Amino acid sequence: MKTERTPGNASRKPVVRYRLLGLAAAGALTAGALTGLVPTTAQAATAEPSGPGARQHAFAVAAAEYHVPAQVLLAVAYQESAWDANAGRMSTSGGYGPMHLTDVTPAMLASGPAGAVGRADLAHMAQDPALHTLRAAAGLTGLAPAELREDPAANIAGGAALLASYQKAVSGGLPLDPGQWYGAVARYSGSAQKGTARAFADRVYATLRTGAARTTSDGQRVSMAADGDVRPAKGQVAGAETATATECPTEVTCTFVPAAASNGQVSDRPANGVRIDTIVLHDTESSYQSAISTFQTPGGSSAHYVMRSSDGAVTQMVPTKDVAYHAGNYSTNLHSIGIEHEGYAAHGDAWYTEAQYQATASLVRYLSDRFGIPLDREHILGHDDVAGPSSGLIAGMHWDPGTGWDWEHFMSLLGAPMGGEHGVGPVGSAVTIAPGFAANQQTVRICPGDDPTGATPACAGQRQAANFVPLRTAPDDTAPLFGDQAVHKGAEGTDRISDWGSTAQAGQQFVVAGIDGDWTAIWFSGSKVWFHNPDGANTTPAYGVTLVSAAGTAPVPVYGSSYPDPSEYPAGLSPSTQTALSYYTVPAGQAYVATRPPVSTDDYFSSGAVVFGAKQMYTIQYNHRVALVYSSAVTASGV
């Protein structure tokens, strides 16, 4: 699966979540228009199995070999991958090839949206059979797992074999009528939840009715005719699940569609003692429906809510009591609620609509009232503010919702404006970054890897409204931008839109480290960095905050997670472990704003067990992202 890269080899959200956006036009073609494009199964089976028709040929051959209706096989693959092969690369949820055959490893869960690095139960988390359909396909076809990963034709054969095996389990045979394959298609979703399985099957049958045609990313022309007469046998997915009530304010249009069970953990927050104290805002980097489909695919990510751009409609996908895998950091996932927004970070100002801002504000106020979450930027985070859970994963942390999310407007909608008179206090005081948005025009460089819409064919600078101030190594416009240690490893920062390391964002709070004319310095990422701040135009003084600094002369280690010590786990539970982030420390003499009072370390297991540690940790605004320090290693003071 192709994963776009950002500065310092940081990964953007995978392309699998983007591809379906551009396919609506194909679905809108008439049946007559498509019929002329689609070879019959017999024609495809005798076609030359190379060139731009090779994948169409592979579908026809696999359908014939395993007695699967060709249009069913094509429609399933269309929903899983839009017929792309990805050249042996996995998708975000561990799926390979056109048929999205899954083979999820513990390492994928550690570095993916679960952010479960350091957890000793990773092997158990990866045991779900839905996460290993590639191995099942290998057993059915006799093909090696490597072939199923790397060879599109083999992958398609594996998917066809799986569908056939599912159909035999449903009906005992392999009927010619594509409508009779509804149960097998639902099972192919990999979900044990009937609602999710039905939703996947319904999307597949919608494709059967409308037809589709596209050229894949590797130049393959694939198409399927429309079948407006298909009648899916929906009774094959028997029984009804208890409807899950949505958790939304009355003024928001809200429906519930369950995410795949493997994309999170059932819990009982906060009744079981696991606090909910953070809300994390994301963007989907895809269409609304594509994001919902992605979260229903086993082995990947999920979010509690998805917000539509056009009208602010909401789909809830995970109950708030449960843990969703959305932030790439298990400790953050454990204590947060994730809200995804339809949109693209590279074009945020064009995608984040007023309807979306208003609906999200209503939802966040509702969640704040329910769980006692403070309405401030210390508890309402962007995905780009979340700590990297380990040194090796910091550079790959996502940067959405990005520079185009208007934090100052959004916080005003929450009734918690960043207001107050602009200005800056003396060295040692704290400030809130507040540069405005529309008038805060910044030049950012957007590259193809930052923009999955395809609208950026080459890197180019753009002047646009932004929510940040750029940070420099000296009080001069010509001084280099600060380069984050984990992203640039000693090199200068850049103005690339995805380079979060050289930016301080609206609402974030820092300690003043120096003043030089129109320039203000702050302690940031263990360094003294500068931003242009004439007459305090980009800041407001911050009062009533807690500052932490090293308790001794030695630098204080910085962490990305908050687990108890191994000795604090009871017998029978394997301890999670954590190590200090090697790139970062709090040097003696520097101070940082603690974003909340210190809290006890803790951990959670799918068995329902909750473990609390005796030590406490502060969350601090360390750089563009938050980080954690042990309370015993710092001294705290108020300003």
- Where helices occur in 353-447 by DSSP H, the ranges are 354-371, 407-413
Token readout for 577 is 């472990």
Report pLDDT for 289.
Answer: 87
pTM, entire model: 0.84
Rg, C-alpha atoms of the chain? 25
Question: What would the pLDDT profile of 301-358 be if each residue is shown by its tens digit?
Answer: 999 999 999 889 999 999 999 999 999 999 999 999 999 999 999 998 889 999 999 9
CA dihedral 65, 67, 72, 75 (to 10 degrees): -10
DSSP 256-312: E-PPPGGGEE---TTTTS----EEEEEE-SB-HHHHHHHHTSTTS---SEEE-TTT-
Q: What percentage of residues in the chain have a pLDDT greater than 70?
A: 90
Token readout for 322 is 């449960």
Reported for 215-218, long-range contacts at CB under 8 A and 24+ positions apart, including other chains, are: 215/52, 216/55, 216/82, 216/83, 216/84, 216/85, 217/2, 217/19, 217/84, 218/84, 218/85, 218/87
Question: What would the pLDDT profile of 363-401 be if each residue is shown by its tens digit?
Answer: 999 999 999 999 999 999 999 999 999 999 999 999 999
Residues of the chain with pLDDT under 70: 1-49, 87-94, 240-243
CA dihedral 401, 404, 405, 408 (to 10 degrees): 150
What are the phi and psi torsion angles at 292 (to 5°)? -60, -45
**What letters, b where the CB count within 10 A reaches 16 and e where it falls short, cover 390-417?**
bbebbbbbbbbbbbbbbbbbbbebbebe
**Regarding beta strands 527-532 and 460-465, do their DSSP bridges make them parallel or antiparallel, or are they unpaired?**
unpaired
CA distance 20 to 390: 32
Report pLDDT for 39.
Answer: 40
Report pLDDT for 332.
Answer: 98
Report pLDDT for 29.
Answer: 31
Report pLDDT for 234.
Answer: 94
Report pLDDT for 89.
Answer: 58
Cis peptide before 270 (omega within 30 of 0): yes
Report pLDDT for 49.
Answer: 66
Cα 401–chain centre separation: 10
CA distance 180 to 172: 12
What separation in angstroms does the CA of 478 have from each of 49, 470, 490? Answer: 58, 12, 18
**Nearest Cα to Cα of residue 282 among 333, 244, 241, 215:** 333
CB atoms within 10 A of CB 299: 29
First to last CA, the chain: 49
